[in-house]
Amino acid sequence: MPESSAVRDVSSVLHPFTNPSSHERGGPLVIAKGDGAWVYGEDGRAYLEAASGLWCASLGFNETRLAEAAYRQLQTLPFMHLFTSRSHSPAIELAERLLRTAPSPMSKVFFANSGSEASDTVVKIVWFYNNALGRSEKKKIIARKDGFHGSTVAAGSLTGIFRNHLKFDLPIANVIHASRPHYYHGARPGESEEAYGARLASELEQQIVDEGPETVAAMIAEPVMGAGGVLLPPRGYFAKVQEITRKHDMLFIADEVICGFGRTGNMWGSQTFGLRPDMLTTAKQLSSAYAPISAVMVNEKVYEVLVRGSEEVGTFAHGFTYSGHPVSAAVALECLKIYEERDIVERVRRLGPRLLDGLRERFAIHPLVGEVRGVGLMAAVELVADKRSRKRFDARLGVGEYCMNKALEHGLVLRALGDSIAFSPPLIVTEAETEMILDRFGEALGATADWLAGR
């Protein structure tokens, strides 16, 4: 009798961001197909996918137009690179469309294949930019604690989730981390949200001064910190941060890998929070995750210096075989057309409050719930050991993971970010499915409370 897919998986696959020993004991959930906001296991069981995979399956799991776009491109031109002045129509048209929608004026688009590659690219561009300007000491890049920018060597260094650094010899040189902006846990007694944001900005500037402004080149930030727990910036924080980066002649980079294309209720998270970046990275919902693709947009100030430096070297010696892959570009282009035709941003503005208000109305008073936070169609419910003092659970208990697994038993896919339970359903989720998310999470939260009481 042939072995099951789960057994074969354990025998052959090394999984990302998975504990290998526990995976060997429990095996995987093998997903066989998808339909709208739903995915189905090999046994036919249905799961409402309220995490969009990894924040990315914005149009759900069976959008025919994206499959057809890929097939047409495979029949026409299945591959062509962009090295040495080669090009093709899907990459050109996609770049034009991205530049038209950019949250601040941008000049050019560089294509890669993942958010991590996009983050690596901006690191190299920051260093190239300052070398071309003759500023060989101005190389440090500031990211933030608990920010996530990828998991390659440079991107993983920018990432401020320090478990991702352990045993990998990260972070590399010239990457430093500023404070995690989370008013709920970080504010002092009686400190307003605006005062807290101003204090963090002041601490950031002091950090730059201590490092030496002549050595600090850039800052990268997610408009909303996704993997760090769906953390929204304190009011006034980003306005002050951008004043500081301009004052010290630093580039400001918006990591829009999670927030881009409607997730926050605007096309870009930068629009939601008033960012005007010099560079912007995007991936995930760029193609609704139907094909690997990412992009880096650079403004004219950056591009002019890249041209100057490339003249001295003889080329801009950076890129990937699959940069702007025609199939991925065709899928992304079709995806952006769907967003526009179906007014996905307006849909998020309508449905987002149903999710966030529903979580607050139903669960904010629950004794395990410390904070409900979010914007657009992304939210988090943070579970705490003591509601009054905001005391966290001992991480070894794995309370968030337990709640996530209980949700899965009820046919709901969520994501545990420590003890914060994250919600990011596909942007095509219906009102009825939103209510179902709330109902099923309530069952999982109740089971978690019973489990803790039994301990």
Q: Is 119 exposed, middle or buried (0-12, 13-18, 19+ CB in 10 A)?
A: buried
Question: Residue 2, exposed/middle/buried by CB under 10 A (0-12, 13-18, 19+)?
Answer: exposed
Per-residue pLDDT reduced to its tens digit, 272-315: 999 999 999 999 999 999 999 999 999 999 999 999 999 999 99
**Mean pLDDT confidence for 236-253:** 98
Residue 227: partners with Cβ closer than 8 Å, 6 or more residues away: 146, 148, 161, 417
At 74, is the secondary structure helix, strand, or coil?
Answer: helix
Is 413 a residue whose pLDDT tops 70?
A: yes
What pLDDT does 339 receive? 98
Contact 279, 298 (CB under 8 A): yes
Pairing of strands 31-35, 38-41: antiparallel
Q: What is residue 1's predicted lDDT score, i.e. its pLDDT?
A: 62
**Mean pLDDT on 224-240:** 98
Over 80: is that where the pLDDT of 2 sits? no
CATH code, 66-341: 3.40.640.10
CATH architecture of the domain covering 5-62+343-454: Alpha-Beta Complex (3.90)
Split at pLDDT 50, 70, 90, the class of 97 is very high
The stretch 313-330 carries a mean pLDDT of 98
What percent of the chain stands above pLDDT 70? Answer: 100
Beta bridge partners of 34: 39
**Once rounded to an integer, what is the mean pLDDT over residues 51-78?**
98
Q: Tell me how far the alpha carbon of residue 425 is from its chain's centroid.
A: 14
Which is it for strands 31-35 and 294-298: parallel, antiparallel or unpaired?
Answer: unpaired
What pLDDT, on a 0 to 100 scale, did the predictor assign at position 120?
Answer: 98
The chain-wide mean pLDDT, for the chain, equals 97
CB 373, CB 226: distance < 8 Å:
no
What confidence tens digit (pLDDT) does each residue in 340-377 have? Answer: 999 999 999 999 999 999 999 999 999 999 999 999 99
Helix %, strand %, coil % of the chain (to 5)? 45, 15, 40
Please identify which residue in the block is written with the tokens 């499959």.
67
The Cα–Cα gap between 204 and 177 comes to 9
| Residues 268 and 256: beta-carbon distance below 8 Å | yes
Domain ranges of the chain: 5-62+343-454, 66-341
DSSP letter for each residue of 109-148: EEEESSHHHHHHHHHHHHHHHHHHTT-TT--EEEEETT--
Predicted confidence (pLDDT) at residue 3 exceeds the cutoff of 90: no
Distance CA 226, CA 164 (A): 15
User: Does the pLDDT of residue 50 top 70, yes or no?
Assistant: yes
Q: What pLDDT digit, counting tens, does each position of 199-223 carry?
A: 999 999 999 999 999 999 999 999 9
pLDDT of 99-143, one tens digit each?
Answer: 999 999 999 999 999 999 999 999 999 999 999 999 999 999 999
- pLDDT grade for 455, boundaries at 50, 70 and 90: confident
